[in-house]
Amino acid sequence: MRGKKRELPGHPMDRLLRVDRIPHIWCSGCGIGTIFGGVLAAIQKLDIDLNKLAMVSGIGCTGRMAGYIKVDSFHTTHGRAIPFATGLKLARPDIKVIVASGDGDLFAIGGNHLIHAARRNIDMTVICVNNLNYGMTGGQQAPSTPLGFKTTTTPEGSPEEPFNFCYLAAACGAVYVARWTALHIRLLTNSIAEALQKKGFTFIEILCPCPSVFGRRNKMGNALETLKLYHDRSVIKNEIDPKEAGIDLFGEIVVGKFVDRERPTFIDYYRSIVCHETPEDNVIRIAR
C-alpha cells in the first residue's frame, strides 16, 4: 500500500453527495443506495444546473435521500412530500423538482396527494422506491405488501391485495410511468433522465430489496438472493397497459416504460384560464 502515493480522482458521485454524511443509514444490502446512485447519475448525465434543482422527500428509509444529495432539499413530514413539492413548483416554476419517497409514504399516508398531483399534472418527477413494507418503522404491512407475505402487523400473511402503483399513477393522469428494479440500474438511470426532461407529472416505481426487514420475515435470504429473484423473474414489456403489469414474486415481475404521453400541465392551464395569458405572453416572460 505504501507505493501508491498518487492523487486519486475520488468517487465520481462525490460532487453530488454530502460526503460528510456518508456512510448513510441504509442497511447492508439495501437497494436504496443503488437507486440513489441512479438518480445522481441521471442528474450528472443531464448536466442540470444544480441551482435549478430541488429534491423533496417524505419520511421513511427512502426519505433520507434528500439528506444526502448536495442540492436544495427538504425532508417533509410523513406523506406530505408532494404537497410541499407542489408549492415549491408553483412558487418557482423555473426549477426541476424531484420527489423521492417510499411506497408507504407516497401511496398510503400521502395517497390522496399523489392522485391529485397526477390529476393536476404538476410538473415534477416522483421516484417511488417500493420495498414492499414500511422498513424504517419496523416492517409493518404497506399497500404494496403482496398477498400472503408476512409483516410485523400481519404475522400470518397479508390478507390484502396490493396496489398496482403504475396502473394507479397512469389512471390518475401521469404523463410518464415506468417500473424498474434495483438491478436494472442503467435502464433506470436512462428512465430517470427521460422523466426529468419531460414536462408534467412523471412517475417511476423501483422495486428494492429489503433484506433486514421484509426479506428476513419472509425467508427470502440475503439481498443477493432478492437481486437474483429480480434477475430471474423480471420481464421487460415496454408500452404495455399498466393494468397488465403486475408484480408477482413467484411468477413474472413486469418492468418497463408503460406510459409516455403529452398533457398540458397545471401551470399551463392556470396561465391561460386564470391569468388570461396567451402563449406569446409566456415567451415574453421567459425572455425577461
Partner 1 sequence: MRFWRRPLDMPPVKLSRGEVIILPERCKGCGFCIAYCPRGVLALSEEFNKKGYHPPYVKEADKCVNCHFCEIICPEFAIYSINLFEKEGEKAGA
Beta carbon nearer to partner 1, 18 or 80: 18
Task: Please choose, out of 20-28, 69-77, 147-155, 242-250, the segment that lies near partner 1 by the rule CB under 8 A.
Answer: 20-28
Closest approach of Cβ 190 to partner 1, in Å? 12
Closest approach of Cβ 105 to partner 1, in Å? 20
Q: Is residue 63 at the binding interface for partner 1, with CB under 8 A as the rule?
A: no
Judged by CB under 8 A, the residue of 28, 51, 156, 262 near partner 1 is 28
Task: Mark residue 100 as left, alpha or beta (left: phi above 0; alpha: psi -120 to 50; beta: remaining).
Answer: beta
Closest approach of Cβ 228 to partner 1, in Å? 8
* Residue 266 three-state SS: helix
The torsion of the CA quartet 23, 26, 32, 37, rounded to 10 degrees, works out to: 0
Cell of 45: 448525465
Beta carbon nearer to partner 1, 200 or 211: 211
User: What character string, x for contact with partner 1 (CB under 8 A) and - otherwise, covers 215-244?
Assistant: --------xx--x-----------------
The torsion of the CA quartet 67, 68, 73, 76, rounded to 10 degrees, works out to: -30
Closest C-alpha to 116, from 197, 172, 44: 172
Q: In what order do the strands lie in the sheet with 234-236?
A: 72-75, 53-57, 96-102, 124-130, 201-207, 176-181, 253-260, 234-236
Closest approach of Cβ 251 to partner 1, in Å? 24
Beta carbon nearer to partner 1, 225 or 260: 225
Residues 100-139 that bind partner 1 (CB under 8 A): none
Q: Residue 7 pairs with which residues in a beta bridge?
A: none
